């Protein structure tokens, strides 16, 4: 009996990315900013790599940069979305359609894995990390950026408050994210030596949450939950737009703020 819990529907995720592929270049600012920061980390690594996996490549935004940085390396790019992979395709490297939950690579295939905003929608993150560890050489480097626990905090809080007030129930509208304090332990349990997990904050300001949600959809980051939103209502059902209008009001009046963080 399989006791695993499916939080994210990978078929929905694939459809969302397929839908976003054609216009992704007009909405990839977050993907590109985070990826550039990851590339900067590689400048501090004083070694060369001979075999690189670009996991979750989208339309190939960092493939050329990785090839310029390591011109002698064999680069393999992959994405869960066939439409994204088709747009990333190149005569200079293989581009595969591959699901992060069932990686098709042989043991000890890569000495660098580079992944931008891709692994936070994996149902079994420890299992995925273990697969990556097995696909890497003993001295390999895993360089990954994921969305952390406070991602979209304001939007999440405003939706919770609005839906609780208007519908007497909650629906899963924002995906759960892994907390930073858990990531180091997950890496260590998966067999990675000298794991380091840190955080960086990117603040993007929108005039209203509707523009934010349009961007999320165009990025292929609409919610891929395995269970569709089924709010629990009492009495007369409110139209869903009332929830978002109320949420917008709370955001524009500053009623939802992220928690303060104390440094140690």
Tell me: the pLDDT tens digits for 184-232? Answer: 889 999 999 989 989 898 988 887 778 888 999 999 988 787 665 444 4
Give the pLDDT confidence score for residue 22 in this predicted structure: 96
In angstroms, the CA 119 to CA 125 distance is 7
Mind spelling out the 3-state secondary structure of 215-237? HHHHCCCCCCECCCCCCCCCCCC
Give the pLDDT confidence score for residue 140 in this predicted structure: 96
Give the pLDDT confidence score for residue 238 in this predicted structure: 43
Please state the rounded mean pLDDT for residues 160-179: 68
Q: Which residue has the higher pLDDT, 153 or 142?
A: 142
Burial 71-99 (b: 16+ CB within 10 A, else e): eebebbbbbbbebbbebbeeeebebbebe
Q: Which residue has the higher pLDDT, 147 or 246?
A: 147
Share of the chain above pLDDT 70, in %: 78
| Other beta carbons less than 10 A from residue 216's beta carbon | 20
Share of the chain above pLDDT 90, in %: 55
């Amino acid at each position: 009996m399989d006791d695993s819990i499916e939080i994210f529907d990978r078929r929905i995720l694939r459809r969302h990315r397929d839908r976003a592929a054609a216009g992704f270049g007009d909405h990839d600012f977050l993907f590109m900013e985070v990826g550039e920061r990851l590339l900067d980390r590689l400048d501090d690594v004083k070694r060369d790599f001979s075999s690189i996996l670009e996991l979750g490549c989208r339309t190939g935004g960092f493939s050329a940069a990785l090839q310029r940085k390591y011109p002698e390396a064999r680069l393999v790019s992959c994405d869960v979305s066939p439409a994204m992979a088709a747009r990333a395709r190149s005569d200079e490297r293989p581009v595969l359609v591959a699901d992060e939950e069932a990686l098709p690579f042989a043991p000890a295939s890569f000495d660098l894995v580079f992944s931008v905003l891709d692994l936070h929608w994996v149902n079994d993150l420890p299992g995925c990390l273990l697969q990556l560890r097995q696909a890497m050489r003993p001295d390999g480097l895993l360089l990954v950026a994921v969305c952390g626990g406070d991602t979209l905090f304001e939007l999440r809080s405003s939706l919770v408050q609005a839906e609780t007030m208007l519908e007497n129930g909650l629906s899963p509208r924002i995906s759960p994210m892994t907390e930073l304090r858990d990531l180091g332990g997950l890496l260590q349990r998966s067999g990675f030596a000298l794991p380091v997990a840190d955080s960086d904050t990117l603040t993007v300001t929108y005039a209203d949450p509707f523009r934010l949600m349009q961007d999320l959809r165009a990025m292929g980051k609409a919610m891929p939950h395995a269970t569709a939103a089924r709010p629990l209502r009492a009495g007369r059902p409110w139209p869903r737009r009332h929830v978002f209008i109320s949420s917008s009001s709370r955001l524009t009046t500053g009623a939802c703020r992220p928690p303060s963080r104390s440094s140690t």
